[in-house]
Amino acid sequence: MFESIRSVLAKGFTFFGDTTPTRQGASMLTLPALDAREHALRRFRDFVSLLTFRIPDDAPGKFLPFQIKRQDIHLYEPDNIRDLPMPALGIIAAAAPNEPYGLGPPEILDETYNVYGEGTALVRIADYVEQITIEAWAQKHAQRRAIVAGLRQVLRMGEQSMALWLSLPNYFDQVAQFTLIDTQPIDDGAPQERRRAMIVVEMRVPEVVLVDAVELQVSAQADVGVGLDLEDS
């Protein structure tokens, strides 16, 4: 397979991590089933499904808790909004420009050598950055307010920065960042018991690729006694 691919490449072009000779089971062109975006959104869905929101009860100082079920957090725009169980969330996608780290080759992460496979290392290609819009659907105004208030809070409670950091154990332990941009409740004549809001968030996650890596073996040789005539010494 690799030789067939090389036959259509420009002369002098090589893939990062292409070793000579090609190692058995090489990872150079093992294409991913999921990209950085999908890994980050799936983790965000897991996180939000664990949150407990609250709406005021009729009794003073009392609250009614509720959660958004994982199956009701859609990583796309739901097809049938009219029959959508409430509360629910959907993700409205946006363009994601390519943001490489520089004009040179990708950055190899030395600390990942042999971590995710013998003779491999991670290469950091770019950051995936997308300004996603979370569309929240609720039954009542109070439920919508609680969702917006809750998400505004958790997205800005990071001690390290004004962003939410989520680990991605299924994506080489990378970290995705979610930064709140703005929120907007929308009252546009939606059907009864259908209240919605928009929460705009910047999502940023490193794009990495697992490649073959060969550890450089450095050796030094010293030649002593060159030019000495032992008979004259």
Q: Does the predicted model carry a pTM greater than 0.85?
A: no
From CA 224, how far away is CA 233, in angstroms rounded?
Answer: 15
The bridge status of strand 63-66 relative to strand 174-186 is unpaired
From CA 86, how far away is CA 109, in angstroms rounded?
Answer: 44
Q: 159: buried, middle or exposed (CB in 10 Å: 19+, 13-18, 0-12)?
A: exposed
- CB atoms under 10 Å from CB of 53, counted, come to 21
Quote the radius of gyration of the chain (alpha carbons, Å): 27
Q: What are the pLDDT digits (tens) for 156-201?
A: 988 888 899 999 999 999 999 999 999 999 887 655 667 899 999 9
Report the pLDDT value the prediction gives residue 13, as an integer from 0 to 100: 77
146: phi then psi, degrees, rounded to nearest 5: -65, -40
The answer to whether the beta carbons of residues 205 and 125 sit under 8 Å apart is no
Report the pLDDT value the prediction gives residue 159, as an integer from 0 to 100: 83
Q: What are the pLDDT digits (tens) for 164-174?
A: 999 999 999 99
Report the pLDDT value the prediction gives residue 7, as an integer from 0 to 100: 80
Structure tokens at 93: 């996608």
Q: Is residue 196 part of a domain?
A: yes
Report the pLDDT value the prediction gives residue 104, as an integer from 0 to 100: 72
The answer to whether the beta carbons of residues 176 and 155 sit under 8 Å apart is no
Phi-psi region of 117 (alpha: psi -120 to 50; beta: other; left: phi over 0): left
Domains in the chain: how many in total?
1
| The length of the chain, given as a count of residues | 233
Q: Is residue 19 part of a domain?
A: no
Q: Is residue 20 part of a domain?
A: no
Over the chain (233 residues), the average pLDDT of each successive run of 10 is 75 67 56 93 98 90 94 89 87 89 78 90 92 94 95 91 94 97 83 83 94 67 59 53
CATH number at residue 199: 3.30.70.1700
Q: Is residue 107 part of a domain?
A: yes
From CA 188, how far away is CA 89, in angstroms rounded?
Answer: 18
What is the domain range of residue 144? Answer: 33-218
